[in-house]
Structure 1
Amino acid sequence: MVIMMRAVMAAAALALSLPTTAHAAEQPAVVPQVLPMGAAVSALPLAIENRTGYQRTSFKHWNAGEIPADGCNTRAEVLLSEAVEYPEIGPGCALTGGVWWSYYDDTTVTEASKLDIDHMVPLAEAWDSK
C-alpha cells in the first residue's frame, strides 16, 4: 500500500511539473533557416571568453596513438592518415619516404619533418569558448 501511494504521489508530481497544453501551444515553432555564411556568422551570439583554469599541459594530445606498441604518437598517426603516398614506418615509428599535400599552399611535401600538425581550433580558443 505504501509503495502504491508513493507511486501515485510521484505520478502526480510529474504531472504537475509538465507544461500544460495551453502553455505548449503558446511556444512558437522553430523554423530552420538557410542563411549566407556572412549573415550566419553575424547571427552568432557574442560572449566574453574565459580562460580561467586553462593549462595547455592538461591536454595530453601527443599520446601513444591507436596502437601504443607500434611507437606512433598522435602526430605520426595524423601524418599516416593524411599521406598521399604512404611512408615506410621504421623502428619507433620513424617515417621515411611518403608524400603529403599541403592544404595551405597547394604544394606537395616529401619530408614529414617539414609538416606541422595543427588543431583545427586551438586548445586555448576552444577552452575560452566553452
Structure 2
Amino acid sequence: MRRVMILLATAAGIAASAGPASAAGPVALTQKQQAAVREAVTAALDDGTAPARFGKMAAVRTPVGSVIVCGLVRAGGGVGGHEGDRTYLVLVTGSSARLATMGGGGARGTVAASQCAQYGMNFAADTVAAR
C-alpha cells in the first residue's frame, strides 16, 4: 500500500509540475518500451488467470524529459469473465516502465483517468476491442 501511495504521489507531482500547459508533446514509443509498459501493467493486474487485452496507448514527453504513457487494458476477471476496461498511467525511463496508477473502481480509476486527460490522453469514449 505504501508503494502505491508513493507512486501516486510521484505521478501527482509530475502532473502538478509539468501539466498540460507545459507538456512537450506526443512521443512515439519503441517496441521495447511498449512491451515494458504492457509488462508493468500486466504484473499489477489482480487476476493472472485470463490474459489482459490492451487497447489504445498514447505517450507524451514532459519538459523535464519524463515520458508518461496512458492507455486502456481489459483485465481478465477469472472463470472467463472480465473486469472491464481500466485506464493506466505508466512512467517510462529509457526502456523500463513503472506503473504509477491504474483505474479500477473508486478513486484510483478517477485519478488515472484525470491525470491522463491532463496530458491530452482522454480515453473516456474508447473501449478495448473485443476479440
> Which structure has the larger Rg?
1
- Calculate the TM-score normalised by the size of structure 1: 0.24
Q: Normalized per residue, which structure has more strand?
A: 2
Q: Normalized per residue, which structure has more helix?
A: 1
